[in-house]
Amino acid sequence: MKTYLRAIFTATVFLSIIFSVSAQKVVILHTNDMHSNLTGFGPESEYSPMYARNDNTKGGFARIAAKIYAEKQANPDATLVLDAGDFLMGTIFHTLENQTGFQLYLMSVMGYDAVTIGNHEFDFSPKFLAEAIVAAQKRGGTPDILASQFIFTPEKDFDDGLEELVKNKTIQPYKVIERQGIKFGIFGLIGDDAVSVAPRAAPLKFENMFKTAKRITKTLREVEKVDYVIYLSHSGVYPDKEEYMVGEDAELAKKVPGIDLILRGHTHIKTQQPKIVGKTLIVQTGAYGQFLGKLELDFSGSTVKHSYQLIPIDDKIEANGVVYKMIESYKSRVSEPFFAPLGLKYDTKLAETDTDLPTADYDTRNIGLMGQFVAEAVKFYTDSFSSGTDIVVVAGGTVRESILKGTITPADVFRIMPLGADSSAHPGSPLAKVWLTGREIKKLMEVALMSTTPGTDSYLYFSGILVHYNPDKVMLRKVEEIEINGKVIDISRNSSELYSITANTYLLSFIGKIKQMSKGLVKLTPKDENGKKIKNIYAYTLEYQTKELGKHKGKEWMAILEFLKSFKDTNGNGTPDVPKYLKYGGGCFVSTKPQAGI
């Protein structure tokens, strides 16, 4: 009998040890910079997520939902699902969030536990973001929203909605979540770089990320007594030449060693394996929901062990039917206000291309084709339907998606240039026109030559101008000759003739700040056509006249629509074709040294 009882006791202890060990494993699934790509990244007409292995589209919320659901089924009460910001702003789906709250509610249905706020959540203003959160609550709920740095402006009311959400704890500085007996302390911040490119967050201000991170980490460790600290960071890092991570997150990991894991966003970088700074793991999934990060943590030993993978979200995955149907039923609702007035539907066949027109690639330093395509589209649009322009400028960071081989729809077009809004919250930063002298245009092109790394947000694309430069000359002395519309212009100090530049208001708002950005080396003064200094760029937005809309504010995505409509049907199938001349690289810079151009 004693032998029997001893055997039972031994078996029970053995099983409890096994259970204890297995119960110490937790899976963290994470995304970042999804930018409202609910239906994936690629040709809209190909996306068919309910059938596996039949399209080339990457991502899609219904596919992500399927992977989240499967993981939660396999590891109940052992899974955390988190997002590091910029979940909004990138497709037509984001445009009505303040009325519908659709995406935040959808993310709660998908199983997200917590999200933080990125710079693009402020593209339509703090007021819009607050309304979106409230609308999602009314619809059925949101994931926990974690943000810790807001500094509100009492004398302004545009951030009052967010302030109320902080007061009622809808937006929280941190959250403690327990999984398998492990207490996770989770908080979210937006980095200084992300703040610098969020001008429409005003009047909202932000506390310094390093100061905030130290304070919250101390609270989580000493007051909440958590076992593991996770920082949802919308600041990010970049790989240097040796592929070591540099940037705000790497610096923060050094200065705040109490953080165990940084799930980062903002920079759209993929980490195949965690980067380790001190004892802090740093991971990121790229962007647009093309990958789902999966980090497995094992707390059973004296140290926390980990394994990591990026799960491709592609057509090998059969989508979650509930999420798919929710998105499909929402398409007409969200496209009706913006595409219907143009005589279009969400999936209208606008044009087709037999090759890809890719965006620039940071990893390979490839200039891409899409930025130049947009510049040519805006030049055509402004010359055809407005007062015309000498030069068009497009910033690489605002070009969000490629045109891929196949049919091009309005939904595809909107994703190329989706950012910003006008004063009436109509999507897209409005186009405006300013004037500079020939000498100032030379200075602008010198600045552009200083920012010639393709794939970076600061890379500039131009139409209407040709610049001859000597790469061997010193900085700010490289430009030798400039042609505008085929005519050489005066770029001497005595030049007084004015030339018009068209760009979106977001980009033009930085022209007057170039002196500050260049440490005083370059000063440009945006003017009106009479040479008077412009104080408010939004007063110089352009009006366009088209058959469908009459007079209206122009946007880059609308320019692309009109550009595509102007193409000829060269293969006789009834759909316009992208011309061959737009499928090759190029640019406005021509080196005076043979075979040394950029």
Note whether 402 and 440 are same-domain residues: yes
Note whether 454 and 371 are same-domain residues: yes
Cβ partners under 8 Å of residue 325, min gap 6: none
**pTM reported for the whole predicted model:** 0.85
Mean pLDDT of the chain: 89
Q: What is the CATH number of the domain that holds 529?
A: 3.90.780.10
> What is the arithmetic mean of pLDDT over 531-539?
91
Confirm whether 552 is domain-assigned.
yes
590, containing H or E segment = strand 589-591
Q: Which of 321, 337, 371 is the last residue of a domain?
A: 321
pLDDT at 233: 96
What's the pLDDT tens digit per position in 377-410? 999 999 999 999 999 999 888 998 888 888 999 9
Q: Which residue has the higher pLDDT, 41 or 107?
A: 107
Task: Report whether pLDDT(11) > 50.
Answer: no
Note whether 158 and 279 are same-domain residues: yes
Note whether 364 and 479 are same-domain residues: yes
Terminal Cα distance for the chain, rounded: 87
Nearest CA among 236, 235, 233 for reference residue 260: 233
Task: Report whether pLDDT(2) > 50.
Answer: no
> What is the arithmetic mean of pLDDT over 46-62?
86
Confirm whether 436 is domain-assigned.
yes
Note whether 281 and 367 are same-domain residues: no
Please say whether the beta carbons of 268 and 401 come within 8 A: no
Range of the domain at 171: 32-321
Domain count, the chain: 2
Nearest CA among 129, 196, 125 for reference residue 422: 125
pLDDT at 517: 61
Cβ partners under 8 Å of residue 390, min gap 6: 464, 465, 484, 485, 499, 500, 501
Q: What is the CATH number of the domain that holds 137?
A: 3.60.21.10
Tell how strand 261-264 and strand 280-283 pair up: parallel
Q: How many CA atoms lie within 13 A of 280 on its CB side?
A: 25
Angle, CA 440 vertex, CA 436 and CA 442 arms, to 5°: 125
Beta bridge partners of 558: none
Confirm whether 25 is domain-assigned.
no
Q: Which of 304, 321, 338 is the last residue of a domain?
A: 321
> What is the arithmetic mean of pLDDT over 190-204?
90
Note whether 397 and 481 are same-domain residues: yes
Note whether 264 and 412 are same-domain residues: no
Question: Hey, what are 33's tokens?
Answer: 């910079």
Longest Cα pair distance anywhere in the chain, in angstroms?
108
Note whether 220 and 161 are same-domain residues: yes
Confirm whether 271 is domain-assigned.
yes
Confirm whether 433 is domain-assigned.
yes
pLDDT at 62: 97
Task: Report whether pLDDT(419) > 70.
Answer: yes
Please report how the helices 102-110 and 61-74 are oriented relative to each other, as an axis angle in degrees rounded to 10: 30
Note whether 44 and 190 are same-domain residues: yes
What's the pLDDT tens digit per position in 198-248? 888 999 999 999 999 999 999 999 999 999 999 999 996 666 654 556 789
Note whether 144 and 90 are same-domain residues: yes
Q: Tokens 């190029």 map to which residue?
A: 586
DSSP string, 310-352: EEE-STTSPPPHHHHHHHHHHHHHHHHHHHGGGT--TT---EE
Note whether 270 and 384 are same-domain residues: no
544, containing H or E segment = strand 543-546
Please say whether the beta carbons of 263 and 237 come within 8 A: no
Confirm whether 342 is domain-assigned.
no
Grouping H, G, I as helix, E, B as strand and the rest as coil, residue 90 is coil
d(C-alpha 155, C-alpha 200), whole Å = 17
Q: Which of 274, 302, 321 is the last residue of a domain?
A: 321
Confirm whether 537 is domain-assigned.
yes
Confirm whether 148 is domain-assigned.
yes
Under the banding of pLDDT at 50, 70 and 90, the label for residue 364 is low
Under the banding of pLDDT at 50, 70 and 90, the label for residue 103 is very high
What's the pLDDT tens digit per position in 452-475? 666 677 788 999 999 999 989 988
Under the banding of pLDDT at 50, 70 and 90, the label for residue 586 is low
Task: Report whether pLDDT(362) > 80.
Answer: no
Note whether 371 and 467 are same-domain residues: yes
DSSP string, 182-229: EEEEEEEEE-HHHHHT-GGGTT-EE--HHHHHHHHHHHHHHTS--SEE
- Strands ordered across the beta sheet of 498-504: 431-437, 498-504, 391-395, 460-463
